[in-house]
Chain A
Amino acid sequence: MELLDRYLKAVKFWLPSEQKQDIVAELSEDIRSQIEDKESELGRQLNDAEVEAILKKGGPPMLVAQRYLPQRYLIGPALFPTYWMVLKLTWLCFYGPWLVIVVGLKIFASFGAAHAGAAATGMFEPFFRSLFIQFAVVSGVFALIERSHANAEFLKSWNPRKQLKVRDPNRVPRSSSISELAWYVMLLLWWVNVLRIPAISGVNITMAPAVLRLYWPILVLIVCQGTIDCVNAFRPRWNPRRAALRGIVDALSFLVVGYFLLIWVQGGTLVAVTGAKLASAEIAAAQKAITYGWSVVLLIWAAASYAARTVQDARRAANKPPIPQNWALRMLVGD
């Protein structure tokens, strides 16, 4: 019976301590009865292969033990769709653009350099670290919600009247047009120097010469984006001509943002910091920090958004329906 004892020991390992003895005693009794029945049928003792066949029929020890345990989830089936949607949203809206744009530009910028491969590989390290932390944080938060049973209350308060309306993909929500218009008005006022960032005494922050080279094209693009939003607010349905116009503006905006990102990945700066009391190392650090902040927070998102919008605009201009939008794409496109 050495095989049986080994099997029972393996099952016992996976069982909760307070039930180990009880479950194993009952399981042992059942298997011994099966062996006895078989032996009386054959009129002899079973050999190891025959005992093995009986044990195999019972299933692997871990699986047998697992059937005695209550079903446990880190994130249960009720909460899982929301959890999955949040993960997808962050992947599609942040990590997707990050991977495509930053890594792509880095590889492009280091192309032909002596250590191009190493530079490209080095970009993946912070990316995967950040991806892992994001995954762990989102999973942890949802696991806590699962444990606290907060999702039960959320599901109980379900009401068919609270469900989202079915969207017409060619309709522009007024709220989007107005909020986008407000954003472009602010951007325009800042660009023409009417609206200023609160000044730090003794420090002067201006645009870097590389950025100012595109002063007029950027001004025209901001005005065009704002004008389209203004028209959309009053005529909230896309027509092919307006979609084509915005497609062109979005494609040009994408190129401008891409140019800024290229400056960043090549180690350049988007701003020029001056100050009588600042050392040159401090100036360089401040310029680098501002450029990094703008690029990571704003420009990657903007590039992904303009690229996605260009695709949607091109489809509308060609009288095709836009790509069916899920939450992630809608957030990216701003529709």
Chain B
Amino acid sequence: MTQGNTNENGVLLENLRLELRRGCLVLAVLAELRNEQYGYTLRKGLAERGLEVDEGTLYPLLRRLESQGLLASEWREEDKRNKRFYKISRDGKLVLKQLLAEWQGIGLSLEEILKESGHGTS
């Protein structure tokens, strides 16, 4: 395998990985915000659980989810600094429940497919 091919595969893998993570990230953010948090602690919490996300991805996502009515936010002072706190809304909770069911369905289907093709995860 040439250096060029390795680089191309690396870029391809990174793009596919980002695509795969994009949908999961919405789910993770909604689930994390069942408890009120501000952006930085949310980011740290996700990273500690193995889901690293940069600020350029997280904050636009939070704004989008808020504009869709799935999150609510308010500016509050904490440790002498103004911070924006986010929490899941009632609609958000409903959507999260439906998304989790979908996620579990996808997981089961994928496991079945991988088992059949001899690429079992275990």
Contacts and interface: CB of A to CB of B under 8 A. Distances in A.
Contacts of A67: 56-57, 60
B40 interface: yes
A34 B59 contact: no
Secondary structure at the A interface, as helix, strand, loop or mixed, is: helix
B10 to A, nearest CB: 19
Which of B40, B57, B75: most chain A CB closer than 10 A? B40
A30 interface: yes
Contacts of A29: 38-40, 81-84
Interface stretch (A20-28, A207-215, A217-225): A20-28
Secondary structure at the B interface, as helix, strand, loop or mixed, is: helix
Contacts, number: 41
Interface in B39-70: 39-40, 43, 54-57, 59-60, 63
A27 B60 contact: no
B81 A59 contact: no
B54 A59 contact: yes
B63 A68 contact: yes
B59 A57 contact: no
A235 to B, nearest CB: 52
Given A57-B54, A58-B54, A30 B81 contact: no
Contacts of A57: 54
A136 interface: no
Interface string A62-87: 01100110000000000000000000
Contacts of B60: 67-68
Interface string B66-109: 00000000010000011110000000000000000000000000
Interface of A: 23, 25-27, 29-34, 57-59, 63-64, 67-68
Interface of B: 38-40, 43, 54-57, 59-60, 63, 75, 81-84
10 contacts: A23-B59, A25-B82, A26-B59, A29-B38, A29-B81, A30-B39, A30-B59, A58-B56, A64-B56, A68-B60
